[in-house]
Amino acid sequence: MFIQGCIVAIDAMGCQKRIAGKIISQGGDYVLAPKSTQGHLLDGVKEAFEQGNTAEPGTYSTVGKGHGRIEKRECAILRRTAGFTKKPYGKT
């Protein structure tokens, strides 16, 4: 699969070191969706935001209506290694 220069959006499965490593090694970037069961990773993400390690443009949000509810989606951008290098989760 050719993913160089692409952004891969994937659910919690994409937070696995092996999968994230493959995306990076092939020149792609990815959107993480860590959950509370991935404690070290989630802690690292929270820490990175607290330290202000965001990249430009920073955040993006949308509001939509569907399936009988209003959905607000937010995406924030962090520098690739911000806040994760000292965590037991792994290296990026």
pLDDT tens digits for range 14-46: 667 788 888 889 998 888 777 778 777 778 778
Q: What range does the domain containing 15 cover? A: 7-78
How would residue 7 be classed by pLDDT, with cut points 50, 70 and 90? confident
Any domain includes 85: no
DSSP annotation string for 66-79? ETTEEEEEEEEEE-
Any domain includes 88: no
DSSP annotation string for 16-29? SHHHHHHHHHTT-E
Domain count, the chain: 1
